[in-house]
Structure 1
Amino acid sequence: MGTAEVPQDPQRVVVLDTGELDSALALGVTPVGTVHADGATGPQSYLADQAKNIEEVGTIQNPNLEAIAALKPDLILSNSVRHKDIYEQLRGIAPTVFAETVGKAWKENFRLAGAALGKSDEAERVLGEYEAKAQALGPRFGTPGSVEVSMVRFMANGVRVYGEGSFIGTILNDVGFARPQIARTEETFVQVSPEQLSSADGDLLFYAGYGQDGASKQAELAAGPLWQRLGAVSRGDAHPVSDDLWYLGIGPLAANRVLDDLARYASAA
């Protein structure tokens, strides 16, 4: 969004998306304010302990500008996808740094947060350790390039199959997994109907529901014949995962935790 002059060592940071919260905490910075995902009641569950004393300033879609200003921040971190329309208002409160996009670009966004927080070297160290961990995990699945991993997310309005152009897609790629044909796209996700669920099959399938409505949709479809006919389901190779972590995390702490989760299924492939 242009140039921002930020303090050399910002002390009162407000973050306005899940990726920025993850990134700040990964760099050892505890923000004074954060938002939570719409439909959630607080920060992502995997960050509950680290974020328990952070002031909440609304939701991702509706940040509370008055609450943000009351915290007297010296830096605000977010991204253009979520908050481009209120950039000028945020900039009027404190120096504001926006990433251009979300999801697949999480590593670049983490580096940007590192630069804004004066912790670029630390950001590179964290990313290097993550990438080494991902590369070491792949051989535990034999030949990961021959293992198709499918990512399914149940939403209130339907079912999504997540593609290569997503946060979770980058992690699977870093490990070296293959993807089902429908997921071989730079799009974040492909919306499918219940009748198209067969296209979401894989050697391994991981699924989650977003919020209570997504969980209800998951329960409804998972009990039906279309889901039960999937090869991964019938073999016992379909596994529920944390939506907070695998889909909402979008940062290095989440990425490392996803690798830990994946390691549990190495013997299943």
Structure 2
Amino acid sequence: MKRLLPLLLTAALGTAAAQDTSCTGRTVKHAMGTTCVPNSPKRVIVLDTGELDSVLALGVKPVGAVTALGSGFPTYLKGRTDGVADVGTIQQPSLERILALKPDLILSSKLRHGNLYAQLSRIAPTVMAETVGVVWKDNLKLDARALGREAQANKLLSTYYARLKKLQVRVDRKRTTISVLRFVPGQVRLMQRANFIGTILDDAGLLRPATQRKDTFSDVISAEGLPAADGSVLFYSTYGPADATDQRAFLSSPLWARLNAVRNKRAFAVNDDHWFLGIGILAANRVLDDLEQYLGN
């Protein structure tokens, strides 16, 4: 297959060039330019967890998708991803597997796969967002334009904002500060505002501790830095096996026991897949489920 791939890509390039000069579908502007996409894509491949979340929310099951470091599809999507082929990891998607699935649309982002855009475009029309994380709602709208499902995206976002309003009524926002901590192998991250979770908390009008109001992604802290994670409520998650992170050492630290949220039994372990990996509307709604459960009066 590796020997055939350059030849097949060259043949596909001729088709892509023809599409550029005479589009019989719809044109979509995106981070890498303008692409002609089918009116109703049938064989979609997604190359990030955010795109996987979006297309499933929009009612489209992709034929192929990448995983995060080979760990499988996010657990909160269990049942929805049955029959979806694994086409490699976010870091290293397999062009051979993608080509074999004969896609008619590929969705990703410039941040993740801008360097592969030319190759992917030779396989199928490819639409890329600029980046990921804080722009997850814009990315949902872009994916919806590529799929011809903008009305569905608008409905999903309207429902999301309606849920936020209901949550705001139930939470004492003047007395509540939300701290977010994530354990990953080799790092403990104190999450700031410029990330997926940060946007949801901002949308909900929930305050963050003074140590977590930066317009950056995260700070890396040591056990001695645990006081910076204090808040009236603390949410924490673990990426991968807990034993591969410093979670056990942190949670057994005397500084952990002194945190207000811990002393008041307001420190909650949450699922990393929908709090950090999902980056889409389905994940956002699962986060709102957690916020309603733990914060609602």
| TM-score bracket relative to the smaller structure | over 0.9
Structure 1 portions without partners, runs of 5+ = none
How far is 1:261 from its partner?
A: 1.1
**2:178 paired with 1:123:** no
Contact 1:148 1:180 in 2 (8 A): yes
Q: Which residue of 1 aligns with 2:9?
A: none
Contact 1:103 1:188 in 2 (8 A): no
The residue matched to 2:246 in structure 1 has which SS?
helix
Contact 1:155 1:214 in 2 (8 A): no
Deviations 1:12-47 (A, max 9, x none): 00001000000000000000000111151x100000
Structure 2 portions without partners, runs of 5+ = 1-31
Residues 14-33 of structure 1 aligned to structure 2 (within 5 Å)? 14-33=45-64
Deviations 1:133-152 (A, max 9, x none): 0111112112x244110110
Q: Which residue of 2 aligns with 1:252?
A: 281
How far is 1:196 from its partner?
A: 0.9
Q: Which residue of 2 aligns with 1:243?
A: 272
Q: Structure 2 CA distance, aligned partners of 1:221 and 1:39?
A: 27
Q: Structure 2 CA distance, aligned partners of 1:105 and 1:249?
A: 13
2:113 alignment partner, one of 60, 79, 83: 83
Q: Which residue of 2 aligns with 1:203?
A: 232
1:221 alignment partner, one of 244, 250, 267: 250
Q: Please, what TM-score do these two structures have when normalized by structure 1? A: 0.95
Contact 1:208 1:218 in 2 (8 A): no
The residue matched to 1:264 in structure 2 has which SS?
helix
Contact 2:187 2:245 in 1 (8 A): no
2:65 alignment partner, one of 34, 37, 59: 34
Q: Which residue of 2 aligns with 1:172?
A: 201
The aligned amino acid for 1:85 is N
Contact 2:104 2:125 in 1 (8 A): yes
Q: Structure 1 CA distance, aligned partners of 2:82 and 2:249?
A: 33
Residues 1:26 and 1:214: Cα distance change in structure 2 (over 3 Å): farther
How far is 1:226 from its partner?
A: 2.4
Q: Structure 2 CA distance, aligned partners of 1:81 and 1:219?
A: 33
Q: Which residue of 2 aligns with 1:63?
A: 93
Q: Structure 1 CA distance, aligned partners of 2:196 and 2:220?
A: 17
Residues 1:87 and 1:213: Cα distance change in structure 2 (over 3 Å): farther
The aligned amino acid for 2:94 is N
Q: Structure 1 CA distance, aligned partners of 2:80 and 2:49?
A: 13
Deviations 1:97-150 (A, max 9, x none): 1110111100000000000000111101110110110111112112x2441101
Contact 2:242 2:248 in 1 (8 A): no
1:156 alignment partner, one of 177, 180, 185: 185
Q: Structure 2 CA distance, aligned partners of 1:121 and 1:185?
A: 34
Q: Structure 1 CA distance, aligned partners of 2:198 and 2:296?
A: 21
Q: Which residue of 2 aligns with 1:231?
A: 260
**2:294 paired with 1:265:** yes
2:83 alignment partner, one of 53, 56, 71: 53
Deviations 1:140-187 (A, max 9, x none): 112x24411011001112211111111111111111100011211221
Contact 1:203 1:237 in 2 (8 A): yes
- Identity among equivalent pairs (%): 50
Q: Which residue of 2 aligns with 1:44?
A: 74
The residue matched to 1:14 in structure 2 has which SS?
strand
Q: Structure 1 CA distance, aligned partners of 2:115 and 2:228?
A: 37
Q: Structure 2 CA distance, aligned partners of 1:147 and 1:155?
A: 26
4+ residue runs of structure 1 moved beyond 6 angstroms? none
**2:132 paired with 1:93:** no
Q: Structure 2 CA distance, aligned partners of 1:120 and 1:191?
A: 38
Larger radius of gyration: 2
The residue matched to 1:187 in structure 2 has which SS?
coil
Q: Structure 2 CA distance, aligned partners of 1:149 and 1:75?
A: 39
Deviations 1:53-92 (A, max 9, x none): 1000011101011000000000000111111111111111
